[in-house]
Chains A and B, each alone.
Chain A
Amino acid sequence: MSIPTTAGRPEKAIRALDVSDSLWRQSIRQLRKNKLAVAGFAFIAFMFLICFIGPLFSPYADGKINPANMHQPPSAKHWLGTDLLGRDVLTRLLQAGRISLTVGLASMALSMTIGTVLGIVSGYYRGVVDQIIMRVADLLFTIPGLPILFIMGALMSDWKIPTDYRLYLVMLMLSIIGWPGVARLVRSQMLTLREREYMQAADVLGLSDKRKLFRHLLPNVFPLLIVIATLSIGGAILSESALSFFGLGVMPPTPTWGNMIDAANNVIDFEKRPWLWIPPGLAIFLTVIAINIFGDGLRDVLDPKQNTSR
């Protein structure tokens, strides 16, 4: 096996050490210069804003059903048409964004955090700690998801937890049991990084664990984390609708992007009524793209190996 990544590395590490100015603060400054990243961030902010404010200006914000107005195609009165119960699709789309965006981002962030922390700890300290964390991960990997969700649903129903809160509890639970995937990836990255020369240099210099972890290792894991995070955000938004299928998500008639798409998932709506599924699909798509662009910018800025002068 060839030995990758040798020459030049210690030099860079030392340079990083010299910079007493926080790497993080430096990064933010550079991030501002990255136009694409700024655009991505601005778009997400815009989505949040319009979803929270937009419905206030809609005449259909009460979400009342209107049997006389079922399945109307887009028109001047209903810009994106109406659904099966005659409700305005645009209004519902915006209202749905409130939950979908919050839940999507929050659940992604949560499961990423848990996974990253455990992965780093496991890969950095190795030995017994690693063995324990990884074997627990193995165990969690083998557990089937369906019964867990069913049991959770039944328990929350028995405990009379209001349906509005159930979604958040479930997301929390899923993050708690769903970390092994991220943790394993982060750990394997850590195992390699740990052996790099600049880390040996850091060891020799007698740097504290904290400094080694946050200054030297975390930034190197970042590109990977961003890939995982941007990839999982779309899934996280859609997974809300999957959860509501288990009686664990939001309760109808509250809309979310996921359950709006789901409501149209049959051959006929697919062919005949694109206004039912294209808007929520597009909303998710744009959100995912924006987050990804932002993530790319973030990665470029944070990745110590990339040429930051771009």
Chain B
Amino acid sequence: MRKQRYSGLIVLWLLALSVVLAACSSSPQSTQTEAASTPSSTPSANESSSQANQGTGEHLLQEPLPAQDLSKLPDRAKQRNDAIIVTLTNPSGAFTPYFTQVGYDGNVNSVLYTPLVRVDTNGLPVPGLAEKWEVSEDKLTYTFFLREGLKYSDGSPMTTEDVEFTWTLLHDPSYDGLNSVVETNIKGGKAYKEGKADSIEGIHVIDEKTISVTLEETNATALTVLGGPILSKAYYGKDYKFGNLDYIKNLHANPITNGPYKLEKFIPGQEVRFVANEHYIFGKPKTEYFIYKTTEGDTWQFIETGEVDYGSFSATTDNIEKLKGLGFLNLIPSTASNYGYNQFNLERDHLKDKRVRQALTYGLNRQLIYVDSRQGAGSLANIPSSPILWSYTEEGINPYPYDPEKAKQLLDEAGWKVGADGIREKDGKKLQINYLGSKSPNTDIFIAVAKENYKEIGVDFIPEQFPDFNTLVSKVNGGDFDMASFSTTIISDPSQGVSSFIKGETKGYNNPQIDELYAKGLATDDIEERKKIYHEMFKILNDELPIMFTNYTKSVIAINGRIDGFELNPLAGIAHSLPDWELK
């Protein structure tokens, strides 16, 4: 930057502004994989007492809306008849499942690989490359049966040897990935990892098509975790030596895969090009080429000019109106399968009291912060489960509407009396909330509203903002705070949404009843039974509020009107229906 020599400040500001841009513009795209949709879900918590409900997305886009006017289709899109282009923030080029460090590579891998077990729109397992599976009576042994005629993109056959190899590889001590397979606790896995065994005791190859695996303890997510993508042993296992996985890094750029598309070319920072895989078990995809286009900044201009066919936007009134105005896009509303929350520091005395936590929730105009100021691109959360999951419920759940009087009453009951300066006190201590958030336009809004709301109920709200997630996390880990804003990762099984409340995972919260229910919820596969267990758990958590549940985010998927065959899957992203996409 030229200005550097005049003043360091200018450089800093330019630099920083771009970060601001990152923060703003990442919102439409980051919903990419998370993109989810069940248009019918209408959380009732919205009925809280907000003074005004400005035009929210709710009445603007409840149902999918097909393109109104295909004649507006830009030339650029018209001319492209054998390729579909979708935006993706920034893949790095590590195209080996389990070995990616950047989330966007995961999106690429989901196109390159089809897992053994897939999940449907409700988060329930359905067959993928495995034709079926059996679970033993004690829920400890899983047997997978592979489909007939599975092949990798180089034409080589895929067998249970590959499955065994993949599971084993992830137990290598030098493996530096996410570790979810290891955490399923396969029998003998630990011994292998520590080098005490040559193979994993719990894995049995029964024949070319059948493999079984035995776990140490029951785990409801084991089926989908173990039923993930399978690497070719002939290719990825050729140079494998125990304790050294460095060789795999050299294979990232040239993957051998088994999904609908295979990698054609990766252009760093620009595109990932795919070509249809003729060996794909469910038949070659209908469109010959598929491209992920890297877009760090805004995607609007690409959608408007038809350079890309698909984009995901925050479901604000503004965005929806603009998208509708373009006319050539199919619009599909969607809710993400995660939830936002404000973490309480439960080791602080004043927050140990349930009534204070409830008062802080009642006393905050969440409707204004998470729904109205975001123009309807969100709905309120009161339990740790997204409305799109089968575990969601509103029955017996307190919606905590904005109610300052109730909040004051609760604080009075808890012994916090209003002092001379309007701030509540107890035993000479002022009621202060030291809040930590990462810098973003949404946090700015939160702080502006919370400061005013909490002042009204006599709470001194002291906000601090941090430049990025990492800094925020390290500060929170330091324990010097009262409240901090976060959101969870994508949740496909309800157990993932509550796992942080058990066995002291959330510091200062310990409820044996929750622990017990959690174990029960994992021990059974029966959906109805699990529903009951989770609803009971949600009711307890909703009342005790170990964290303040805040919001679910809503987005709008915009897809070019000349594409047929798109079906939204909240949990598997676009890869789920991609092979069926067809250009008209």
- Which residues of A approach B to under 8 Å, CB–CB? 64-65, 67-68, 70-71, 84-85, 107-108, 111, 145-146, 149-150, 153-154, 157-158, 163, 174, 177-178, 180-182, 184-185, 228, 231-232, 235-236, 238-239, 241-247, 251-253, 259, 262-263, 265-268, 272
By a CB distance below 8 angstroms, the chain A residues around B319 are 268
**In chain B, residues 63-111, which have Cβ atoms closer than 8 Å to a Cβ of chain A?**
none
Tell me how far the C-beta of A226 lies from the nearest C-beta in chain B, rounded to whole angstroms: 12
Q: Does residue B513 face the partner (Cβ distance < 8 Å to A)?
A: no
User: Once A and B bind, how many residue pairs between them come within 8 Å at the CB atom?
Assistant: 162
Contact A153 B467 (CB under 8 A): yes
Partner of B373, one of A85, A232, A238, A252: A85
Nearest A residue to B16 via CB reads A242
Which residue of B8, B445, B474, B475 has the most chain A CB atoms within 10 A of its CB atom? B8
A-B pairs, 8 with minimum CB distance: A242-B16, A178-B8, A235-B10, A239-B13, A253-B448, A242-B13, A68-B52, A247-B465
Asked whether B447 lies within 8 Å of A253 as measured between CB atoms, the reply is: yes
Bound Cα distance from A251 to B464, whole angstroms: 8
Contact with A along B299-330 (1 / 0, CB 8 A): 01000000000000000101100100000000
Q: Which of B9, B15, B19, B21 has the most A CB atoms < 10 Å from its CB?
A: B9
Q: Does A265 contact B12, Cβ atoms closer than 8 Å?
A: no
CB-CB contacts of B371-385 with A at 8 A, as 1s and 0s?
011000000000000
Which single member of B3, B12, B452 contacts A149 (CB below 8 Å)? B12
Number of B positions contacting A (CB below 8 A):
56
**A172: min CB distance to chain B, Å:** 12
Q: Do residues A181 and B8 form an inter-chain contact, with CB atoms below 8 A?
A: yes
Nearest-Cβ distance from residue A47 to partner chain B, whole angstroms: 21
A266 to B448, CA, bound (A): 20
Q: Would A107 and B9 count as touching, CB distance under 8 A?
A: yes
User: Which residue in B8, B15, B17, B318 is a CB contact (below 8 Å) of A146?
Assistant: B15
Decide if A153 touches B466 in the complex (CB within 8 Å).
yes
**A239 and B448 in contact, given A67-B50, A150-B471 (Cβ under 8 angstroms):** no
Report the bound CA distance from A115 to B289 in whole Å.
Answer: 57
Given A67-B54, A153-B466, A267 and B300 contact (CB-CB distance below 8 Å): yes
Q: Given the known inter-chain contacts A242-B13, A247-B464, please indicate yes or no for A85 contacting B445, CB distance below 8 A.
A: yes
| Cα–Cα, bound, A168→B156 (Å) | 66
User: How far, in Å, is A150 (CB) from chain B's closest CB?
Assistant: 6
Q: Give Cα distance in the complex from A153 to B4, angstroms.
A: 23
Q: Is the CB of A85 within 8 A of B449?
A: yes
The answer, yes or no, to whether B25 is at the interface (CB within 8 Å) is yes
CA distance A182 to B3 in the complex (A): 11
Bound Cα distance from A144 to B250, whole angstroms: 31
Q: B444 and A163: CB pair below 8 A?
A: no
- Jot down 20 A-B pairs with beta carbons below 8 A, ordered by A: A65-B449, A65-B452, A67-B51, A67-B373, A68-B52, A174-B9, A180-B8, A181-B4, A184-B5, A239-B10, A242-B17, A245-B467, A247-B466, A247-B467, A251-B463, A253-B444, A263-B441, A263-B444, A267-B298, A268-B316
Interface of A is mostly: helix
Do the beta carbons of A247 and B24 come within 8 Å of each other?
Answer: no
- Chain B residues positioned under 8 Å from A238 (CB to CB): 13, 17
Residues of B within 8 A of A241 (CB): 13, 16-17, 20
**Which positions 1-59 of chain B face chain A at CB distance < 8 Å?**
3-17, 19-21, 23-25, 50-52, 54
Please give the residue numbers on chain B whose beta carbons come within 8 Å of chain A beta carbons, in ascending order: 3-17, 19-21, 23-25, 50-52, 54, 298, 300, 316, 318-319, 322, 365, 368, 372-373, 439, 441, 444-445, 447-449, 451-452, 462-468, 471, 474-475, 478, 480
Name the residue on A nearest B452 (C-beta).
A65
Q: Are A145 and B12 in contact (CB under 8 A)?
A: yes
- The one of B16, B21, B449 that contacts A246, using a Cβ cutoff of 8 Å: B16
B7/A245 in contact, CB under 8 A:
no
Distance in Å: Cβ of A249 to nearest Cβ of chain B: 9
- Judging by beta carbons under 8 Å apart, are A70 and B372 in contact? yes
Provide the residues of chain B in CB contact with A231, threshold 8 Å: 3, 6-7
Residues of A close to B468: CB separation below 8 A: 150
Please tell me if the beta carbons of B8 and A174 are within 8 angstroms of each other in the complex.
Answer: yes
Partner of B448, one of A154, A174, A252: A252
Question: In whole angstroms, how far apart are the Cα atoms of A84 and B480 in the complex?
Answer: 32
Q: A238-B13, A267-B300 are in contact. List 18 more A-B contacts (CB 8 A).
A: A67-B365, A68-B52, A70-B52, A157-B466, A181-B5, A181-B6, A182-B7, A232-B6, A243-B12, A245-B23, A246-B439, A247-B439, A247-B467, A251-B463, A251-B465, A253-B451, A265-B21, A266-B24
Residues of B within 8 A of A185 (CB): 5-6
Given A245-B16, A253-B448, A267-B298, the answer on whether A228 and B6 have CB atoms closer than 8 Å is yes
Contact A67–B12 (Cβ < 8 Å)? no
* Chain A hits for B452, CB < 8 A: 64-65
Residues of B within 8 A of A70 (CB): 52, 54, 372-373
Contact status of A181 and B7, CB under 8 A, knowing A67-B51, A268-B318? yes
Q: CB-nearest residue of chain B relative to A145?
A: B12
Expressed in whole angstroms, the Cα–Cα distance for A154 and B373 within the complex equals 30
Q: Which residue of A lies closest to B53 (CB)?
A: A67
Smallest Cβ-Cβ distance to A248: which chain B residue: B467
How far is B201's CA from A214's CA once the two chains are assembled, in angstroms?
Answer: 85
In the complex, the chain B residue whose C-beta lies closest to that of A271 is B322
- Chain B residues with CB under 8 Å of A236's CB are 7, 9-10
B9 touches A262 (CB 8 A): no
Docked complex Cα distance between A253 and B451 (Å): 9
Q: Which residues of chain A are within 8 angstroms of B316 by Cβ–Cβ distance?
A: 268
CB pair A67 B52 closer than 8 Å: yes
Q: Nearest-CB distance from B203 to chain A (Å)?
A: 45
**Chain B residues in 8 Å Cβ range of A157:** 464, 466, 475
Chain B residues with Cβ under 8 A from A84's Cβ?
A: 373, 445
CB-based contact B467/A232 at 8 Å: no
Chain B residues, CB < 8 A from A158? 478, 480
Cα of A288 to Cα of B316 in the assembled complex, Å: 36
> Nearest-CB distance from A291 to chain B (Å)?
14
Q: How far is the CA of A67 from the CA of B366 in the complex (A)?
A: 12
A84 nearest in chain B by CB position: B373
Q: Nearest CB to that of A107 among chain B residues?
A: B9
Contact of A150 among B372, B462, B467 (CB under 8 A): B467
B136: min CB distance to chain A, Å: 51
Taking a contact as CB atoms under 8 Å apart, the answer to whether B9 and A265 are in contact is no
Question: How far in angstroms is the closest Cβ of chain B from A178?
Answer: 3
- Contact call B300/A235, Cβ cutoff below 8 A: no
Q: Which of A84, A111, A174, A231 has the most CB of B within 10 A?
A: A84
Check A242/B6 contact, CB under 8 A, given A67-B52, A85-B449: no
Give the nearest-CB partner of B21 in chain A.
A265
User: A145 vs B300: C-alpha distance in the bound complex, in angstroms?
Assistant: 31
**CB neighbours of B465 from chain A (8 A):** 244, 247, 251
Contact B448 A245 (CB under 8 A): no
Q: Which of B50, B300, B466 has the most CB of A within 10 A?
A: B466
User: In the complex, A94→B4 CA distance in Å?
Assistant: 30
- How far, in Å, is B11 (CB) from chain A's closest CB? 7
Asked, given contacts A251-B447, A266-B25, whether A235 binds B471 with beta carbons under 8 Å apart, the answer is: no
Nearest neighbor of B12 in chain A, beta-carbon distance: A145
- A235 near B467 (CB under 8 angstroms)? no
Query: Chain B contacts of A253 at CB under 8 A?
Result: 444, 447-448, 451
Cβ contacts under 8 Å, A263 to chain B: 441, 444
Q: A178-B9, A181-B7 are in contact. Are A154 and B475 (CB under 8 A)?
A: yes
Which residue on chain A has the smallest CB distance to residue B4? Answer: A181
